[in-house]
Amino acid sequence: MIPLDPIPRPIDHLAVRGQPDAPALIDRTGAMSFAELDAATGAVARALLDRGLVAGDRVATWLPKTRLACIMPLAAARAGLVHVPVNPALRHGQVAHILHDSGATLLVTQPMRAATLERDDVPHDCPVIQEDALPRNGAALPLSSGDPEKLAAILYTSGSTGRPKGVMLSHANLWLGAIAVAHYLRLAPEDRVLAVLPLSFDYGQNQLFSTWAAGGAVMPLDYLAPRDVVKAVARLGATTLAGVPPLWTQLLEIEWEDAGNNLRRLTNSGGALTPRMVRNLRSHFPQADLYAMYGLTEAFRSTWLDPALIDANPDAIGRAIPFADVMVVRPDGQRAIAGEPGELVHAGPLVAHGYWRDAERTAARFRPAPDFAAAGGTAVWSGDTVVEGEDGLLRFVGRDDEMIKTAGNRLSPQEIEEAILSGEEAREAVVVGVPDDRLGQAIVAVVAGDPMQEQALLRRLRTDLPSFMQPARYVWHATLPRNANGKLDRAAIRAEVLR
What's the pLDDT at 276?
87
| pLDDT given for residue 142 in this prediction | 97
Q: Provide mean pLDDT across the span 450-473.
A: 92
- Output the CA torsion sign for 279, 223, 215, 176: negative
First to last CA, the chain: 51
Q: Please list, residue by residue across 200-218, b when 16 or more beta carbons sit within 10 angstroms of its beta carbon and e when fewer do.
A: bbbbbbbbbbbbbbbbbbb
Confidence tier at 159 by pLDDT (50, 70, 90): very low
Fill in the amino acid letter for 40.
A
**What are the C-alpha distances in Å from 6 to residues 9, 94, 172?**
10, 37, 10
Give 325-334's long-range contacts (Cβ < 8 A, gap of 24+). Answer: 325/369, 325/373, 325/374, 325/375, 325/379, 326/302, 326/394, 327/370, 327/372, 327/373, 328/386, 328/387, 328/388, 328/394, 329/370, 329/381, 333/370, 334/370, 334/372
**How many alpha carbons fall within 13 Å on the CB side of residue 431?**
25
Is the pLDDT reported for residue 265 higher than 90? Answer: yes
Cα distance between residue 228 and residue 236, in whole Å: 12
**Each residue's pLDDT tens digit, 39-86:** 999 999 999 999 999 999 999 999 999 999 999 999 999 999 999 999
Give tens-digit pLDDT for 300-316. Answer: 999 999 999 999 999 99
In this predicted structure, what is the pLDDT of residue 160?
A: 36
Rounded alpha-carbon distances, angstroms, from residue 338 to 320, 335, 389: 16, 10, 5
Mean local confidence (pLDDT), 355-374: 96
pTM, entire model: 0.86
- Residue ranges of domains in the chain, CATH in brackets: 11-388 (3.40.50.12780), 402-498 (3.30.300.30)
Closest to 343 measured CA to CA, from 392, 379, 391 = 379
| Helices 202-213 and 171-184, packing angle to 10 deg | 70
> In the prediction, which pLDDT does 410 show?
66
